[in-house]
Amino acid sequence: MTPFDAKRPLQLNDQGQLRHFLSLDGLPRELLTEILDTADSFLEVGARAVKKVPLLRGKTVCNVFFENSTRTRTTFELAAQRLSADVISLNVSTSSTSKGETLFDTLRNLEAMAADMFVVRHSDSGAAHFIAEHVCPDVAVINGGDGRHAHPTQGMLDMLTIRRHKGSFEQLSVAIVGDILHSRVARSDMLALKALGCPDIRVIGPKTLIPVGIEQYGVKVYSDLTEGLKDVDVVIMLRLQRERMAGGLLPSEGEFYRLFGLTTARLAGAKPDAIVMHPGPINRGVEIESAVADGKHSVILNQVTYGIAVRMAVLSMAMSGQNAQRQLDQENAL
């Protein structure tokens, strides 16, 4: 358990609707299914001549990225724009905080812009929770990734990808491969898979990159890739987290690829119709062979498409939950 688990109720309003989206930990299966169903309904918007719906018209979404990520920022921007929101994107890592401004100072300045929602990405675990605890009551906060802690929208877009290609989760075997220790994606995926009823969740990687006590997530641990991939339905490869790795946890990237890189030969041990996923960006020849990344089993580009729909779902549901809470508070004040 992380120190942020006690703050789970912060995410929901008094009626159990989504208010902030900070972590998948503790969220009920019904709510995760609602996110997936809502995202499914938004997928057709991307195929329209005019790719917009009016759900967030008049609202302002502020993307506050203290840590760079082109893919996550761009898909959040597209999601907000397709919901007809006004969008502001700030790369704070190169501006205010480098001049000595604290996270709290930045928050107050952003509130002065009268934004309705903050999408926050930060290298420190718990940053999104901190902002959600201190933000004005009418502002929703979405976690776009915080440290090693959580990346909940990535987790949900992975779940949408799996559901659309494999149907229900109840009979699946899913393997998560690579740098588990530093991966917020792995944590979010494990929590989501468990909540959605996946009976066989496997984590595969060198022992130095497997966190102590990971079995609490209900997973099986493998240190041999061939053994771990046997008869799985889904393979989720993780990016080797070079920027978060210290202390010589690996002898070399070449050695990692030799033992844990996903090749065509190794993928042959999975089920014939297995799908291969990756949160991106891909380190070809380190985590995965190009023939696999670009091959018939790969659904990596589908993940990007589904990511826009999932982020549309989360933005719209969080705003709806904020509005419902505001109305309830007003009624209670009478």
Could you tell me the residue range of the domain that residue 59 belongs to?
A: 5-150+305-333
State whether 124 and 255 are in the same domain. Answer: no
State whether 128 and 182 are in the same domain. Answer: no
Q: Is the pLDDT of residue 96 over 70?
A: no
Q: Which long-range contacts (CB under 8 A, 24 or more apart) does 130-134 make?
A: 130/103, 131/103, 131/107, 132/7, 132/10, 132/11, 132/20, 132/22, 133/7, 133/10, 134/104, 134/107
The CATH number of the domain where 63 resides is what? 3.40.50.1370
Closest CA to 17 of 310, 316, 309: 316
Q: For residue 34, report the phi and psi dihedrals to the nearest 5 degrees.
A: -65, -40
Average pLDDT across the chain, whole number: 90
State whether 110 and 47 are in the same domain. Answer: yes
State whether 156 and 145 are in the same domain. Answer: no
State whether 218 and 296 are in the same domain. Answer: yes
Fill in the amino acid letter for 118. Answer: F
Q: Which residues of 229-254 are buried (b: 16+ CB within 10 A; e: fewer)?
A: beebbbbbbbbbbeeeeeeeebeeee
State whether 107 and 156 are in the same domain. Answer: no
Mean per-residue pLDDT for 280-294? Answer: 94
State whether 163 and 215 are in the same domain. Answer: yes
pLDDT digits (tens, 9 = 90+) for 62-79: 999 888 888 899 999 999
State whether 294 and 312 are in the same domain. Answer: no
State whether 17 and 102 are in the same domain. Answer: yes
Q: Is the pLDDT of residue 288 over 80?
A: yes
Q: Is the pLDDT of residue 330 over 80?
A: no
SS3 of residue 235 by DSSP: strand
State whether 176 and 271 are in the same domain. Answer: yes
pLDDT digits (tens, 9 = 90+) for 5-43: 444 469 999 899 999 999 999 999 999 999 999 999 999
pLDDT digits (tens, 9 = 90+) for 207-255: 999 999 999 999 999 999 999 999 999 999 999 876 545 555 676 788 8
pLDDT digits (tens, 9 = 90+) for 174-186: 999 999 998 999 9
* pTM (predicted TM-score): 0.91
SS3 of residue 121 by DSSP: strand
Quickly count: other Cβ atoms within 10 Å of residue 221's Cβ: 15
Residues 6+ apart with CB under 8 A from 156: 24, 32, 35, 36, 39, 188, 192, 310, 313, 314
CA distance 308 to 9: 26
Closest CA to 176 of 226, 127, 238, 125: 238
Q: Number of structural domains, the chain? A: 2
State whether 129 and 241 are in the same domain. Answer: no
Q: For residue 149, report the phi and psi dihedrals to the nearest 5 degrees.
A: -80, -65
SS3 of residue 97 by DSSP: helix
State whether 176 and 224 are in the same domain. Answer: yes
